[in-house]
Amino acid sequence: MDKIYLNKMAFYGFHGVFPEEKKLGQRFLVDLILEVDLKNAGETDDIYQSIDYGLVYQVTKQVVEGPSKNLVEAVAEDLSAELFSHFGLLAACTVKVIKPDPPIPGHYQSVAIEIHREKS
């Protein structure tokens, strides 16, 4: 399957299990891999045979900057469901949600979760 990548989209959300995360918020980065047959798009040069990256960004922004969740796993599930509801050509997606600055002790670049979902 062909793939569209959207990498390191940055948002500010209020997700987390700690009260300060819900009150102060924090940065979230999102990577997406969208699996879609792009043969017709490539042959016809027609945007309607592909997926509009700008609209993908807007859908992602609405979810990540939307209602607070305890877990980034829930954010990823909501995002995958929204992507499938908006894009009929989407066959599968991989959603990676990254918390660059989680409030946990230690030295690391970030923490992240990644899910892969297929059209049912």
Catalytic residue of the set 3, 96, 99, 119: 99
Radius of gyration of the chain measured on its C-alpha atoms: 15
For residue 13, the surrounding DSSP H or E stretch is strand 3-13
Long-range residue pairs from 57-62, CB within 8 A, at least 24 positions apart, any chain: 57/6, 57/9, 59/83, 59/86, 60/6, 60/9, 60/11, 60/30, 60/32, 61/9, 61/11
Q: Is 119 a catalytic residue?
A: no
d(CA 111, CA 92): 23
Query: Among all residues, which ones are annotated catalytic?
Result: 99
